[in-house]
Amino acid sequence: MEVSMPLPLELVLNVITNSLPKYPNVILAPSHPITQTLLSFTLVCHETRRIANRYLRQYCMYLSSERRLRAFLLEIPNRPELRNIESLFLAPFDGHTIDDLSTAMWVRELFSFTCNSLKRLIIDVPLRSLYPETDHLAVRAVLREAFVKLENLEELVSVRDELFLSVTHHGNEPPVWKSWIKLRRLALYNVDASPGFWRSVGQMPALETVVLTRADSLRESNIKKEYFKNGDRALNVLLINVEEDQVRFSQIPRINWDKLDPQKRVTIFTYNVPCPFEEDDPIDICQEHVRIGAESGTLWDWRGEQIQHLPKVSNARLHLG
């Protein structure tokens, strides 16, 4: 009669470790095989549950529905360590609108619990689905209050918009991300990249990388001129679009870039998202591409074609022989 021998605990823990993602900034969906593997190990024994739960908090905080958000909040009193998550994917609004006061309040509660530890956030929230003039339940005010709490945030990806959290129809409030002084990486969709935007970027003390998808006003803004009015740090800028709609080098004002940035501390790239079929919606294509890149942790490393300074023109006259 054969007797089954249990595997040594060290070997089991090694299996868990070897199943982890290769990249540290990954956020995995609940259906991902690694997430499922870690969930299975929470059922094996006390030690594997402890280790697996630690990695679930590190790699798998994926609140993609109102139900998941509510379940997470209900679990915090029993598991206070959930307050210490550092990375999060958040898409809690079911349907195509944020006109849901209870979910907005749960988002505020979530950020109240996690604001001290949360460093990396990806949001897929249709903030433009409800404008201030029709926001009769003050949902937008609740959400703005929630996001302002994230004083330790270092990375933000807003898949659907420019983190549109205005509460008045005038839109005179400063963007919420300006209050996050530790912010290092910022990715926004369809932001108005006007001169004022680049001056605001220059005021951010730690910002290193800006990723803009389908941004407006690029043809009207001398990026380096406006940025260096308030900033003097190195900055990487990535402009994402489908090739057909991508801004051309000749359309971007580059006057005096050699004087403004002789050491070329600000680097600006264009990045074209593949659009396989003509009938594909470029908005959906770009948003999905950025979301996948953000979840995989590769977005900040993307590079495309660098926008160079204007060529220098020699003052020497041409002599005809």
Rounded CA-CA distance 255/269 in Å is 17
What pLDDT does 93 receive?
97
- Considering the domain architecture, whether residues 99 and 206 belong to the same structural domain is answered as no
65: CB partners within 8 A, 6+ apart? 91, 92, 94
pLDDT at site 41: 87
Same domain, 190 and 160: no
Asked whether residue 128 is assigned to any structural domain, the reply reads yes
Contact 249, 284 (CB under 8 A): no
- Tell me the C-alpha distance between 200 and 114, whole Å: 26
257 lies in a domain? yes
Q: What Rg do the C-alpha atoms of the chain give, in angstroms?
A: 23
On whether both 155 and 251 belong to a single domain, the answer is: no
Dist. CA 134–CA 140, nearest whole Å:
10
Residues 188 and 216 in one domain: yes
How many domains does one find in the chain? 3
Both 49 and 65 in a single domain?
no
On whether residue 2 sits in a domain, the answer given is no
- The answer to whether position 5 is within a domain reads no
Residues 258 and 296 in one domain: yes
For residue 31, being part of any structural domain is answered with yes
pLDDT in tens, the chain (321 residues): 454 546 667 777 777 888 899 888 999 999 999 999 999 989 888 888 999 999 999 999 999 999 999 999 999 999 999 999 999 999 999 889 999 999 999 999 999 999 999 999 999 999 999 999 999 999 999 999 999 999 999 999 999 999 999 999 887 899 999 999 999 999 999 999 999 999 999 999 999 999 999 999 999 999 999 999 999 999 999 999 999 999 999 999 999 999 999 999 999 999 999 988 878 899 999 999 999 999 999 999 999 999 999 987 655 444 444
Look at residue 253 and tell me if it is in a domain. Answer: yes
Task: State whether 230 and 280 are in the same domain.
Answer: yes
Spatial CA neighbour of 118 closest among 98, 90, 160:
90
Q: Could you write out the three-class secondary structure of the chain?
A: CCCCCCCCHHHHHHHHHHCCCCCCCCCCCCCCHHHHHHHHHCCCCHHHHHHHHHHHHHHCCEECCHHHHHHHHHHCCCCHHHHHCCEEEECCCCCCCCCCHHHHHHHHHHHHHHCCCCCEEEECCCHHHCCHHHCCCCHHHHHHHHHHCCCCCCEEEECCCCCCCCCCCCCCCCCHHHHCCCCCEEEEECCECCHHHHHHHHHCCCCCEEEEECCECCCCCCHHHHHCCCCCCCEEEEEEEEHHHCCCHHHCCCCCHHHHCCCCCEEEEEEEECCCCCCCCHHHHHHHHHHHHHHHCCHHHCCCEECCCCCCCCCCCCCCC
CB distance 204 to 235 below 8 Å: no
Note the pTM of the prediction, 2 decimals.
Answer: 0.93
Identify the domain containing residue 146 by its residue range.
61-165
Q: Are residues 254 and 225 in the same domain?
A: yes
In a domain? residue 314: no
Say if residue 95 is in the same domain as residue 109.
Answer: yes
Q: Quick count: other Cβ atoms within 10 Å of Cβ 92?
A: 23
